[in-house]
Amino acid sequence: MGFHKRYIDDNQVIDIYREQGIQAVLDWYTKGADALITSGDLAQEVDNIIYSNEIVNEEKLNILGMMIGLASEKKKIYEKEKTVTSS
């Protein structure tokens, strides 16, 4: 049996959230991997919240939804500006 590492970065978190929702992000962090390796502030903060013992599960989903939603909107604005600038 092997040891399964999962690499998670900010863009993956945002893309999964956009395509499948917050539950899919939660599943990506909690199912099917023996170890997580995060890259980026958002990916690390999501990990911290999911595995926090100080926040109840219902609040975790709300916090994660707001946090990832905001990061998603920032990414959209950045992508829009980038295409306008390069045109």
What's the pLDDT tens digit per position in 23-50? 999 999 999 999 999 999 999 999 999 9
Query: What is this structure's pTM?
Result: 0.86
Q: In which domain, by residue range, is 45 found?
A: 5-86
What is the number of structural domains in the chain?
Answer: 1
What pLDDT sits at residue 58? 87
The CA angle 61-15-8, to the nearest 5 degrees, is: 80
**pLDDT band of 1, cuts 50, 70, 90:** low
Q: Compute the distance between CA of residue 61 and CA of residue 87 in angstroms, rounded to an integer.
A: 38
51 closest CA partner among 38, 40, 39: 38
Task: State the average pLDDT over residues 75-87.
Answer: 83
Helix 10-20 with 57-86: angle, nearest 10 deg: 100
Percentage of the chain beyond pLDDT 70 is 98
pLDDT of residue 83: 82
